[in-house]
Amino acid sequence: MPIDGEYEPSTWGWVREQVEEYESSGGTRGNTLRDSGMPIIVMTTVGHRSGKVRKVPLMRVEQDGEYAVIASKGGAPEHPAWYHNLVADPRVMIQDGPAPFDAEVRVVTGAERAAWWERAVRDYPPYAEYQEKTDREIPVFIARRV
């Protein structure tokens, strides 16, 4: 079931601009984290309090059509705002290229989390530093196409 409703862009300028560039180009522009050259995806959720459509660029960590969604917030002591959206409603849309698709997320733990965390750090090494900066275990969700 597609996510629709009123879109409320991020209050963070760089997030808002990257999502706009990515979507308007079908994923051909704005598809890396700033100037890093590291690929991103765009995840769409529904705000757990506002009910508005929210979009965020995330690092691309993919295996066999599933995507890791890492709630790192750069190692901040609290989860990113979108974490609460996923806990409240696991339905998301993922855009990795020209066409978004419906997906559902689930949080992973134990050995499964460890394997996905290793992939995430391989694809985006700063995740390891983010984990060192915070006392919380950074949540790892897996998005699977529905």
- Facing residues of 67 across strands? 62, 143
Residue 110 lies in a domain: yes
pLDDT at 1: 63
Enclosing domain of residue 30: 13-145
Residue 45 lies in a domain: yes
pLDDT at 2: 77
CATH number at residue 108: 2.30.110.10
Residue 8 lies in a domain: no
Smallest CA-to-CA distance from 53 within 21, 100, 14, 96 is with 100
pLDDT truncated to tens, each residue of the chain (146 aa)? 679 899 999 999 999 999 999 999 999 999 998 778 899 999 999 999 999 999 999 999 999 999 999 999 999 999 999 999 999 999 999 999 999 999 999 999 999 999 999 999 999 999 999 999 999 999 999 999 99
Residue 6 lies in a domain: no
pLDDT at 35: 75
Determine the straight-line distance between the first and last CA of the chain, rounded to whole angstroms.
9
- The number of folded domains in the chain is 1
Query: How many angstroms separate the CA atoms of 57 and 35, rounded?
Result: 14
Residue 47 lies in a domain: yes
Residue 2 lies in a domain: no
